[in-house]
Structure 1
Amino acid sequence: MKIPALIPLLISCLMLSACTSKPKSDYDTEYDFSQLNSFETVSPSQNDYPLSSSRIEDSIAAALSNQGFVMVQQQADFNVTYSFKVEDKPKKSGLSIGLGTGTWGSGGGVSVGTSVGVPIGSDTAQIQTIQIDIINPKTNKLIWRGTDKFNIDAGGEKKTEETKKTVAKILSQFPPHTK
């Protein structure tokens, strides 16, 4: 394969990786996570988005259960709480530059093109950021925190699915893989 033929493939891979978010997490390096088996969900105080709260709680319970943790009502090995925020972000309408190669007959060539994206409809999008905290119930201290965000394009089933995916991505980093 010629080097110029690899350029479009590399650009495509870079563009795809730029579109996906990667959750961030931090944890207490002195804590022994191997002792954790059961959890209890602690709901935050009232908020303006009860549907989002319910979706997040259900997603946390499902994700942790899928990892083998057992949900209990009291005396859990760890407590899970969460917070979230919804904010407006301007839609991107920037300049894109493309690079292409091709052949025609016995000749070849390289071309460079540009495009300008113009947002249609509203000029803002909503982003929901979810933060999940794992608390040691004996000391009430934070032992792990993960966060990620997603675009809110619509409510209902689409938002439920995005919430599930985002929570699962966050909790895929829990417990941390230490030495």
Structure 2
Amino acid sequence: MKNLLIAAAVLMLAACAKTPDVDYDKSVDFSNYKTFAWFPQATLANAGNYQISPLMEQRVREAVNTQLQAQGMTLADTATADVLLNYHASVDTKIDVDTFNVGYGAQWNYWGMGYNTQTTTREYDVGTLVLDVVDRASNQLVWRGAREGRLQKKQSPEERNEAVKESVATILSGFPPEKLKK
């Protein structure tokens, strides 16, 4: 029974990891948006991390374009698009700390007994990709989606492409917001 509860908890956490972090303006009718374009100044270049390069920027743009076109939207000129897209990326270093008991000890020469503990720490990078959708006519942010994940180093270009496609698909699974409502 205990193992079944642990398995259910792990599955629930895995399901949560696939859910994008989404915020949007509830007063907006997203069915009116048929075309999109990128803000002219949209860039990831200022992120300041070696993993966020012009190559990664190209991957993100291609993945977003492909995903939105698969959802029925059309890439248009900036002056005529219904919505404009902007994106941001950041990389943060986090620390994972584990402390556990490794044994019970006793000494006879000196009075005392106690537990021995071991603590290990690991640094790792977490990347966050944020996609903004702005209504071109009002210049107001109407939708924001984000995904955070642990970055993998030493990936091939193909592995990087797949990771970006998966992240973008996860973020855009909440766009338009009507898809989230059941």
TM norm. shorter chain > 0.5 = yes
Q: Distance in 2 between matches of 1:169 and 1:175?
A: 13
Summarize the alignment of residues 1-179 of structure 1 with structure 2, pairs less than 5 Å apart: 4=1, 7-19=2-14, 21=17, 22-42=19-39, 43-44=42-43, 46-47=45-46, 48=48, 49=52, 50-74=54-78, 75-91=80-96, 93=98, 123-154=122-153, 155=155, 156-177=157-178
Q: Distance in 2 between matches of 1:16 and 1:117?
A: 28
Normalising by structure 2, report the TM-score. 0.73
Cα 1:142/1:163, change in 2 over 3 Å: same
Cα 1:24/1:51, change in 2 over 3 Å: same
Q: Which runs of 5+ in 2 are unaligned?
A: 101-117
Cα 1:63/1:92, change in 2 over 3 Å: farther
The one-letter code matched in structure 1 to 2:56 is S
Q: Which runs of 5+ in 1 are unaligned?
A: 96-115
Percent sequence identity is 28
The one-letter code matched in structure 2 to 1:90 is I
Q: Distance in 2 between matches of 1:170 and 1:124?
A: 26
SS in 2 for 1:93: strand
Q: CA RMSD in A?
A: 2.4
Aligned residues: 151
TM-aligned CA deviation for residue 13 of structure 1: 2.5
Normalising by structure 1, report the TM-score. 0.74
The one-letter code matched in structure 2 to 1:54 is Q
Q: Distance in 1 between matches of 2:170 and 2:98?
A: 28
The one-letter code matched in structure 1 to 2:34 is N
